[in-house]
Amino acid sequence: MARRDERAARIGSHLVQAGFLLAVLILWYLATNRWGVNRLLLPNPISVWHQLLDVLRTGEYLPDLRVTLTELAVAFVLAMTSGTIVGYFVSRSRYAIRVFDPLFAGIYSIPIILFLPLYVLFFGLGPASKIALGTTISFFPIVLSTIAGFGNVDRIFVTAARSMGASDYRLFRYVLVPAALPVILTGLRMGFTVALLSIIGSETIASLAGLGHHIVELAEGMDMPRMFAYIAFVVVIAALLNGIVSFLEARGRRRG
């Protein structure tokens, strides 16, 4: 009986979700086709769909996608390398943790996007300023989680390994890394997400190329159906990238 109720409730909530999405689509369609909402404010869903197919078919997104992905890859690798190395060395001493952990956490609480104008001044409008901003923003979650991961390894594991004669390398490889990995992986995922957002964001604000830049170009050309289609495309790309990273995180966690 209880199980039957539960199943009915689950089906019911899925129905509500599907109904919600359907209602949004129908309202969108009616608003543009029947109620005469200005096409410049809200394009017709059908023309957006055609534009989306066109964007995918022509492959015009490839140069921008390449720029954004390159920026993202460089920024994330820089942040990952510097964040884990700095975090590891800080975590080696309780005292260093007490000195530097609040410092990093304090800077992390400032909206770092504020520094974008400075980065544009230093590095210009090209990819370098986006890479610098993405690296800065994703450095902090990574370094903080690395400090937390290595800093909270249970002392007894270290003592036990030492007393069984583990070398420095073996202690690092077989005790510290497996114990710290889950926390570090979470930090890496967060760092990846904020790097992606900040890179698309800084492309939107000031840039010459990239996915964010293209959205702005379409917006300035008042090409609404294509802009909506392109936004949908970028959202899907972002969701795919985040999905891949979450998958890798879950896998690394199971292995670790």
Nearer to another protein, 21 or 208 (CB): 21
* Residue from 150, 131, 245 nearest 190 by CA: 245
* Residue from 158, 193, 196, 160 nearest 177 by CA: 158
- Contact region with another protein (CB under 8 A), list: 64-72, 155-163, 180-188, 208-216: 208-216
For 167, left (φ over 0), alpha (ψ -120 to 50), or beta? beta
Residue count, binding to another protein (CB under 8 A): 49
Residues 120-139 that bind another protein (CB under 8 A): 120-122
Sign (positive or negative) of CA dihedral 221, 224, 230, 236: positive
Integer angstrom CA distances of residue 149 from 11, 15, 94? 41, 42, 13
Identify whether the C-beta of residue 180 lies closer than 8 Å to the C-beta of residue 150: yes
Residues 221-240 that bind another protein (CB under 8 A): 227, 231, 234-235, 238-239
Tell me which of 27, 53, 105, 118 binds another protein, using CB under 8 A.
Answer: 118
* Cα 215 from Cα 55, distance rounded (Å): 12
Nearer to another protein, 116 or 180 (CB): 116
Tell me which of 78, 90, 188, 200 binds another protein, using CB under 8 A.
Answer: 200
Residues in contact with another protein by CB under 8 A are 9-10, 12-14, 16-17, 20-21, 40-41, 95, 98-100, 102-103, 106, 109-111, 113-118, 120-122, 196-197, 200-201, 204-206, 212, 215-216, 218-219, 227, 231, 234-235, 238-239, 242
